[in-house]
Amino acid sequence: MTREDFISQVEREQESLRGFLLALCCGNKNDADDLAQDTLVKAYLSSAGYQDKGRFRSWLFKIAHNTFLNHKASLRTTESIDEARTLVSNAAADDSFEHQDLYLALRTLPPKERSAITLFYLSEYSIREIATITDTSEDAVKKQLSRGRDRLREQLKY
Amino acid sequence: MVKDKALEELFLAQTPHFDDNVDFIARLTKRLDAVEYVKQHQEATLRRYKLAMVAAFIVGIVSGAVTMAFVLSMPADVPLFTLSVESSILLWIAENSRLIATTAIALLMSFGIMSIISNVQDILALRHKSIHIIETYGN
């Protein structure tokens, strides 16, 4: 894949990728965009070996999912402080976030559940596709979706 | 698995729209340029190192072989050098100078080859490490 091909494919898929990462980052646009950039650089570096034609978006999402998990793992020690800070800033910026409740509810989910729920409901992937993207079994994805849905219901009280 | 309708609607309603797509791609292009620059610079440096190593290896082997051939072509019964000192050790060295010189050259060549191999391994490890860093951090 040439650089031009890569950029043109990215131009088509960037909104869905950024939307996916925005949901994973619970509305934190700066973090989501940084992760999206990291994802795309990684994808570019390994684009020479990309052969799965027609599945560019799934391939990008797979890299994005792994980048997000690595990012979460690297932040594990400071996460509680960051979370507290973001919660305060979210509360202060209520007006600028249209769907604050959903993002706050997503924040309560573990990263893998959050990823599965986002891929299923926002990106509309099937369970099999999610299993491929997240490198887990279909049963594991079903469990994550079921647990995640119950938690979201509880948080959102609908 | 059946989708939770309420949850689906919530997610669909929050589908984000970005108005900075052009800026995002411009930022990405800049980063890709930086990555390309680092990659090319790194590959050129590694190529230079490798060439230097190969040159050192060949020069070492050739000069070692020539010196060894020269030493071995000398008459066997005539020592390489003579020491006009009355000492049994120095006399022994002078008598066996041919053998000693050959052994010293062979040892030097072995040491040189081992250090070159070690350097090549270091360069390859450095390359793998830098590729990993680029992939992890992007720039």
Tell me the ipTM for this assembly: 0.77
Contact residues, chain B, for A41 at CB < 8 Å:
28, 31-32, 35, 138-139
* Residues in B touching A20 (Cβ below 8 Å): none
The tens digit of pLDDT for each residue in B117-130 reads: 888 888 777 777 76
What single DSSP character describes residue A27? T
Which residues make Cβ contacts (< 8 Å) with residue B10, sequence separation at least 6? A99, A102, A121, A156
Give the residue-averaged pLDDT of A108-131.
93
Q: What is the mean pLDDT of residues A112-119?
A: 94
Tell me: pLDDT of A7 over 50.
yes
* Claim: this prediction has a pTM higher than 0.90: no
What is the reported pLDDT for A88? 46
* pLDDT single digits (tens) B72-113: 787 777 767 776 777 788 888 877 888 888 888 888 888 888
Smallest CA–CA distance from B31 into chain A, residue: A41
**Mean pLDDT, chain B, as a whole number?**
81
pLDDT band at A137 (very low <50, low <70, confident <90, very high): very high
- As a whole number, mean pLDDT of residues A22-36 equals 91
- Letter string b/e over residues A84-101, b meaning 16 or more CB atoms within 10 A of that residue's CB: eebeeebeeeeeebebbe
**Residue B116 reports pLDDT greater than 80:** yes
Averaged pLDDT, A26-32: 90
Instruction: Mention every residue, 6+ apart, whose C-beta is less than 8 A from residue A47.
Output: A1, A6
Question: What is the spatial distance between Cα A118 and Cα A148, in angstroms, rounded to a whole number?
Answer: 10
CA–CA dist A128, A113 (Å, integer): 15
Give B22 or B82, the one with higher predicted confidence: B22
- The 3-state DSSP class for residue A155 equals helix
